[in-house]
Chains A and B, each alone.
Chain A
Amino acid sequence: MTDVEYDVGDDVIAVVEDTELPRRLREKVYETVEKRNATLEQADEIARAVENQYLQTRIDPLDPVGTVSAQSIGEPGTQLTMNTFHYAGVAEIDVTQGLPRLIELVDARKTPDTPMMTVYLEDEYAREREKAHEVVWKIEATQILALGDVSTNVADMRVQISLNKDTLEERMITAEEVADIIEDNLGVKTVQQGTTVEFGPEEPSYRELLQLVEELRDITFKGIEEVSRVVIRREEMDDGNEEFVLYTEGSAFGDVLSIEGVDASRTTTNNIHEIHRNLGIEAAREAIIEETHNTLAEQGLDDVNVRHLMLVADMMTNRGEIESIGRHGISGSKDSVLARAAFEVTVNHLLNAAIHGEVDDLDGVTENVIVGKPIKLGTGDVDLRMGSTSGRQAD
């Protein structure tokens, strides 16, 4: 027996638990019964009425739910922006929105156009700005230009870096470390003295010198290479307290989760593949629903029933990995040749099917429309016979 938090009699609980209602609706019934002080009979009547209504609003057998979902997402989709609006949403970070984002999600692109993470922090890291900054330096990629000035001495064929002492301290990196990283990455000998680091090509060569400077700029001295920018924001939590939240441009979900101070239970990314890789298929499903819903909601189209988005996410994650909707994904892996040919690149599908001697069982909708037979949906899949149930009573 489930726990019922409401102050209603055991009889009422027995009556309500006996219905086919899902838990959320049962709770509502309990709430009403408690508030209205309904008698057992009234409670019974309420429960029955609600159950009746619930059963009536359920999807009928053989209803084409996929088609309905496609229409229900497609129609409001016509009202989505076709352009990417920059610097919208949270914390002046550039995020793809509207139709491009929706397409990117259902196409299951390997990386989104504008990857970003929302990084939540733990304990004192979330409360103190200093501590939050510590995490920022561990995430944001630090290049040489952020640490100091680079100059090329063409006469001596040397690259000279004069590092900024305050920046070094702030980002918690020493001049020695900088020199070591340069040696490891460029394979040159460096001379480090105080806050200046100097190096040059082995053989004096102007081209090689410029090459070195070029490569030096690409080295990530600290932080995660993929993350180009981090924005700190102070946000109110549900309990009224405030916490620091980081928004990043660029995403490296797996790396960030294991950084000290990062709350690995709330931090997310808008890259559904990274979620899949690090948290599994169920989390990916959840993320797809969340992202598609937010994309629609951002444009004021959140009256699209979430069940449609859930169906899309279910289909995309059905085989244990993220599949795109479309030719390369779900539609392309249908059993029926005719259904695939009807979708895209018709000739290729027919040709390949002919070469391999494929057989079409004509089970699906598209195939049957093509050959002009009734489709197996709705009344099309119900056979009726009259008067042959000898003696058996209909119930």
Chain B
Amino acid sequence: MVDVSQHELVPEHTVLEEDELEDVLAEYDIDRTDLPKIKRTDPALPDEAEIGDVIEIVRDSRTTDQAVVYRLVVD
């Protein structure tokens, strides 16, 4: 099987720890369900990710060089 994370279109995906998540949600003043979603079957998802987890994604951004975004794992 091909290692998807090696592809240049795929940014780094990591599972966000619960306490870090609290900070993120507090900073934006939102619920976790307000976050963009990512499917549980997504090939770029880390193996340990489960439904309800929040994934931290560090993109190479065209505008800010590096951008951190979050996605909620859904079914």
Contact = CB atoms under 8 A, between A and B. Distances in A.
Given A22-B65, A266-B8, A275-B9, A319 B57 contact: no
A277 B41 CA distance: 9
Interface in B24-75: 36-39, 42-45, 57, 59, 62-66, 71, 74
Interface residues of B, number: 28
A280 B45 contact: yes
A307 interface: yes
A279 B10 CA distance: 7
* Residue among A257, A282, A289, A306 with the highest chain B CB neighbour number at 10 A: A282
B10 A282 contact: yes
B44 A280 contact: yes
Contacts of A283: 7, 9-10, 44
A277 B42 CA distance: 8
Interface residues of A, number: 30
A319 B44 CA distance: 15
Nearest to B62: A306
Contacts of A282: 9-11, 13, 38, 44, 57, 59, 71
A105 B57 CA distance: 24
A258 B9 CA distance: 17
Given A264-B2, A268-B9, A281 B38 contact: yes
Nearest to A290: B9
A37 interface: no
Contacts of B71: 281-282, 320
B63 to A, nearest CB: 6
Contacts of B39: 281, 320-321
A307 B9 CA distance: 18
Interface string B3-17: 110111111010000
A265 B7 contact: yes
B44 A265 contact: no
Contacts of A307: 63
A126 to B, nearest CB: 16
Residue of B3, B7, B59 with most partner-chain A CB within 10 A: B7
B43 A280 contact: yes
Given A264-B3, A280-B42, A282-B11, A310 B57 contact: no
B65 A24 contact: yes
Given A22-B64, A280-B42, A306-B62, A265 B37 contact: no
A107 interface: no
B50 to A, nearest CB: 15
Nearest to B3: A264
Nearest to A317: B36
Contacts of A280: 4, 10, 13, 38, 42-45
Interface in A264-288: 264-266, 268, 275, 277-283, 286-287
16 contacts: A23-B64, A24-B64, A266-B8, A268-B9, A277-B43, A279-B44, A280-B13, A280-B43, A280-B45, A282-B44, A282-B59, A286-B9, A287-B9, A306-B63, A320-B37, A320-B39
- The 8 residue pairs across chains A and B that have the minimum distance between CB atoms: A280-B44, A320-B37, A22-B64, A283-B9, A24-B65, A280-B42, A320-B39, A257-B2
Interface of B: 1-4, 6-11, 13, 36-39, 42-45, 57, 59, 62-66, 71, 74
